Structure 1
Amino acid sequence: MLPFVLRRLASGVVLVFVISVIAYTLLYLGGGDIARRILGQSATQETVDQKAAELGLDQPLFAQFWDWLTSALQGDLGRSWFTGQLVATGVSGRLAVTLSIVIGATLVSAIVAVVLGVLAARRGGWIDSVVQFVTVIGFAIPGFLIALYLVLIFAINLHWFKATGYIPFTTSPSGWVASVTLPIIALSFAAIAAVAQQVRGSVLDALSRDYVRTLRSRGLSMNRVVYKHVLRNAGGPALAILALQFIGLLGGAIIIERVFALPGLGQLTVEATSAGDIPIVMGIVIVTAIIVVVVNLLIDIAQAALNPKVRLS
């Protein structure tokens, strides 16, 4: 197992480096006159040139990226060019909000999708048709539209939740649950649809295998066969699609955060990208890339535990 983990970890490090190179290059090419944006249109050209030299913007792309990379490897992601705030502080403060809804949506998606997928595969008939219809609806309706309807029904009409805002867990656990419930539900719909379809197909395939008939002939109940053996064999593909959904949820969280006015990474990303605040944007890119690498590594380890053949791939 250790060589397998080390291979995956090494590929993850290479991936983070490649992403950082591409992101920095794109930001450099599309940055424009950032010093002018910081100082305003009324600033003299001499002052703008001094600011550009202070930030290292007068240096070639390679020199700028090398300075940023050497600092990042030492744990220093720099400061915002516009506010002077430490990037690590600004990103970490928003990261908890985004991870709250993304991890919550992933867990909800996994649980609901397994229940729906197994139910559709085992029962078939009208139950399978209903599950298929629900998953199609989940694919078809955009997340922001679901979010708007949730706000209209549960916040405005029923007054069960607040329409906007975020309460940290440390301030009030119950308030935190109330503030993330609707965003998690809105973010989960598409992921539930994708994972449920995968679970359904994998369970149907597993139920047709000879070992299921053998286990049933030995007197094992269908529930035990399904939940102890079938799901273990069907878990690999489901975990793979769940990992892809987690990455997609990170991107989808940007829109959901805007709808519910959550102070997460999505709002910070939009603001920093619009302003050309390269240190902030790069901090978000690297943190997001590391999260994706860690999640994929955990999924790979889980798949290797379920199927030892994966370790040899």
Structure 2
Amino acid sequence: MKTTSQPNSMIAQSFLLLLCLAAVWGGSFLFAELALREVPPLTITLHRVVWAVPALLLALRLGGLALPRSARFWGGALGMGLLNNAIPFSLIFWGQQQIEAGLASILNGTTAMFGAVVAGLLLPDEPLTRNKLTGAVLGLSGVAVIMGPEALGGFDPANLAQLAVLGAALSYALASVWGKRLLGGHPPLVNASGMLIGAAVLMLPVVLLVEGPPRFDLSAGTFGALAGLALLSTSLAYGLYFAILRRAGAANLMLVTLLIPPFAIALGALVLGERIGAAEGVGFAVIALGFVVTDGRLLSRCRRVSQTRGAGS
């Protein structure tokens, strides 16, 4: 994460924040797995966004910020809440009814590749380069390794769950384009608060219609998992997200995509006894390679080192 304008201490601080963000986002898969024992997936999404709103509104107040009242802002916030919260959270939680937390986090790691392709197709200032296309192909190849050839042989709820998580990754990618086009010019914390309020407004009628009124006669462990999702994996995560964005930039922030699965896998193994098989490990390695190709910086650095050594000889 080193740049010419950052001292080593700031680089170390940024990387530490990045690890913390990966941990709290990796923890979201564990929290969801625990909450799903008593709470259906759409209701978990509602809990996650509703509980996070007061924490972010408090942060707004402490920062001396206020939510805009314009129709354009709230239209953008509703769309962002749909694409970045309501749809992906619900798909991931639904998918986790069939697949393990670690596998869900690995499949969610395709977000960076989807984001690069979607931005290349929809944003004129982010062209679709050869690296991005190659990275996307590698990412999808990693997914194919994970799902296996039997995925084409017939219907399997586990395969459908994996496709749901991939759909969530695509929704995250579309959200990045939506946010850039419609929510530019506002402080990030304002955008996050508006987005979560929008997601809560959208999810409430859906939950009431599909799953009924939320139950509150839940165990302490389930309440703890829901609180962890909302306060750690959402409110705190967005605070870390924006701190890293300000310190290290969007390109470095993308590194969190690779760091989330190891945390999710470790937590799943420690708390739930989950184990990731060889196919999932190889698939994650291929997805990680796709990320490296998409990002391009490591390849450019290796190329420069090779050219320098060649010139020196």
Calculate the TM-score normalised by the size of structure 1.
0.28
The higher relative CO (CA closer than 8 Å, separation ≥ 6) is in: 2
